[in-house]
Amino acid sequence: MWLHVHVPQEKWIPPRWYFWTERNWWIKGSKIFLGTIEPTHGHHLVSTPIPQQTVNWQKVNMWVSDCHNSVKREGSLQAKPDTSQITGLRVIDTRQRCITIAPAACRYAALSYVWGATSSDLQATTMNIKDLMRKGSLDSRSLPQTIDDAIVACMKMGIGYLWVDRLCILQDDDPSRKAHWLNSMGDIYAQAYVTIIALAGKNAQHGLPGVNLVKRPASWTGTTQGIYLIEKTPAYTECLRKSRWSTRGWTFQEATLSSRRLLFSDTRVFYECSNHKNIKDELTGDYPNTAETAGAALLSYAKVVSRFTKRKLTWECDVLRAFAGVLHTGWGPENYYGIPLNIFSDAILWRTVKKNPYSTRHAAPGDAFPSWSWSSIKGRITVEPSAREGGIFAEMRASLAIWAIPRRARQRLELQIIANTLGKPEKPNKLDDVKSPNNMNEKEVTHTAHELYAPCNFRDLPTRLGVVMAWRCGCFSGSLPGILNTPFTWGEYKVFARKWRTLGHLCDEAHGMSQGSMSEQDIEARFPSNMRQGCPPGSIFVYTQSLNLNPLQLSLKKDMSLQKDILAIEVGDFLALVIDGSINIERINHVRQHNPESCFSLLAISLSEPWDSETEHLKPRTEDFWYDFAGVPLGQNPHDPHAIELMLVETENGISRRAGLARGYLKRWIDQNPQFQTFHLV
Condensed to tens digits (0 to 9), the pLDDT of residues 616-626 reads 567 778 888 88
Residue 131 gets which letter from DSSP?
Answer: H
pLDDT surpasses 60 at 110: yes
pLDDT surpasses 60 at 111: yes
Per-state percent for the chain, helix, strand, coil, to nearest 5: 30, 25, 45
Contacts of residue 592, defined as CB under 8 A and 6 or more positions apart, other chains included, come to: 552
Amino acid at 432: D
- The bridge status of strand 402-409 relative to strand 412-417 is antiparallel
**Rounded distance, CA 123 to CA 173, Å?**
12
Model confidence band, residue 11 (pLDDT cutoffs 50, 70, 90): very low
Q: What is the sign, positive or negative, of the torsion defined by CA atoms of 562, 564, 568, 573?
A: positive
Q: Residue 661, class by beta-carbon neighbours within 10 Å (0-12 exposed, 13-18 middle, 19+ buried)?
A: buried
Q: Are 46 and 7 in contact (CB under 8 A)?
A: no
Longest Cα pair distance anywhere in the chain, in angstroms?
95
Better pLDDT: 558 or 176: 176
pLDDT surpasses 90 at 18: no
pLDDT at 137: 97
pLDDT surpasses 70 at 435: no
Q: Residue 387, class by beta-carbon neighbours within 10 Å (0-12 exposed, 13-18 middle, 19+ buried)?
A: middle
Out of 30-39, 521-530, 543-552, pick the least confident. 30-39
Model confidence band, residue 129 (pLDDT cutoffs 50, 70, 90): very high
- Count CA atoms within 13 Å of residue 79 on its CB side: 17
Contacts of residue 146, defined as CB under 8 A and 6 or more positions apart, other chains included, come to: 111, 113, 198, 201, 204, 205, 206, 207, 208
> What is the 3-state secondary structure of 381-393?
EEECCCHHHHCCC
- The Cα-based distances of 34 to 17, 222, 570 in angstroms read 10, 11, 64
Give pTM, 2 decimals: 0.85
pLDDT surpasses 80 at 493: yes
Query: What average pLDDT score do residues 508-524 get?
Result: 95
Q: Are 122 and 144 in contact (CB under 8 A)?
A: yes
Q: Which of 4, 69, 480, 556 is nearest to 235 (CA)?
A: 4
DSSP, collapsed to helix, strand or coil, labels residue 534 as: coil
pLDDT at 415: 94
Residue 536 gets which letter from DSSP?
Answer: P
**Rounded distance, CA 571 to CA 601, Å?**
10
- The Cα-based distances of 674 to 8, 476, 528, 573 in angstroms read 80, 11, 20, 13
pLDDT at 109: 98
Mean pLDDT in the chain?
84
pLDDT at 288: 87
Phi and psi, residue 632, nearest 5°: -90, 130
Q: Are 177 and 183 in contact (CB under 8 A)?
A: no
DSSP, collapsed to helix, strand or coil, labels residue 12 as: coil
Contacts of residue 102, defined as CB under 8 A and 6 or more positions apart, other chains included, come to: 84, 86, 89, 90, 91, 108, 161
